[in-house]
Amino acid sequence: MNHLTGALVNGVGALLGSLLGLAWGGRLSAAFRREAMRLMGLVVVVIGVKMAFPLADPVNLLVSVVVGAWLGALLRISERLDVLGQSIERRVGKRGFMQGFISAALIFNVGAMAIVGSLQAGLTRHPTILETKAILDGVTALLLTSTAGWGVVLAAPLTFVYEGVLSILASLLKGFLSGAILTDLSVVGGVMVAAIGVNFLSEKPLINIANLLPALVLTVILGWLKLQGVSFL
C-alpha cells in the first residue's frame, strides 16, 4: 500500500463531509448554526486542551508560541492569507471564507492524529490512523461547513497535501522526528487548536491563528536543540 493512501483517504473524507455540509447548510436555521458554532468551539477547546495535556517543556511551548506569533506578524502571514482568501472569496461569493479556511485547515492538520498518522503511513505504509481520522474529519467538516462555508471545502485538498508531505518526509527522515519532538509538536498544536475553539466561542476572533503557524517550526527546532544538549532553562 502506498504511503500516500492515508492522506488521500483523509482528504476525501473531509471533502465529502464539507460538501454534504454545503448541501444541507440551507436547511439549518440561523439559531441552530449559532448554537452549533458555540458547541463546536467548546468541543475544539476541549480537544486542544487534551492535546496539550502531556506538557513536558513549558519553556519550549512559551518560546515557540510567543516568538512564532512575532515571526508570523513580521512575515504578515495573516495578511497574505487574507489577500489570497479575499481573491478566492470574490469568485465564490461567500462571507467568512478566510475564517472557515484557516479554522478547518488547522483543525484537520494541526494535531496529534495528523502527525502520528502521517508518520505511521510514511514509516510503515499502514494508514490506519489516517483512515480513522478521515471519519472524524468528515463529521467535523459537515457541521463546520454549515456555519463557516466554502473555506472548509478548500481546506480538504490542503489536508491531503499536508499529510502527504509529512508522510513522504517521514519515509525519508526516519531518524529526525523523535518521540520528544513529536510530543512538543502535539502540545503546541493543542494550544493552537484550543485558540481556534476560543475564536468560535466569541463574536469576533480574539486570537490571530494564522500568525501562530511559525510556532510549529520553532518547536521542532527547539526540540532538536534540546536533544543536542542545549538547555534554555
Q: Which residue has the higher pLDDT, 95 or 106?
A: 106
Q: pLDDT category, 11, cuts 50, 70, 90?
A: very high
DSSP 8-state class, residue 12: H
pLDDT higher than 80, residue 105: yes
Alpha-carbon torsion (170, 172, 174, 180), positive or negative: negative
How far is the CA of 114 from the CAs of 18, 45, 107, 149, in angstroms?
18, 17, 10, 23
DSSP 8-state class, residue 202: S
**Tens of pLDDT, residues 136-178:** 788 788 878 877 778 889 899 999 999 999 899 878 866 666 6
Q: What is this structure's pTM?
A: 0.69
Give which of 120, 125, 85, 116 is closest to 103, Cα–Cα: 85
pLDDT higher than 90, residue 38: no
Cell of residue 213, nine digits: 503557524
**What letters, b where the CB count within 10 A reaches 16 and e where it falls short, cover 102-126?**
bbbbbbbbbbbbbbbbbbbbbeeee
Distance of alpha carbon 205 from alpha carbon 100, whole angstroms: 12
Distance of alpha carbon 145 from alpha carbon 100, whole angstroms: 8
Cell of residue 52, nine digits: 496539550
153 phi and psi angles, rounded to 5 deg = -60, -45
Give which of 158, 110, 145, 159 is closest to 6, Cα–Cα: 159
Distance of alpha carbon 200 from alpha carbon 99, whole angstroms: 10
Helix, strand, coil percentages, rounded to 5, for the chain: 80, 0, 20
Alpha-carbon torsion (196, 10, 168, 78), positive or negative: negative
Judge whether 146 and 33 are in contact, CB under 8 Å: yes
Percent of the chain with pLDDT over 70: 86
Q: Which residue has the higher pLDDT, 202 or 62?
A: 62
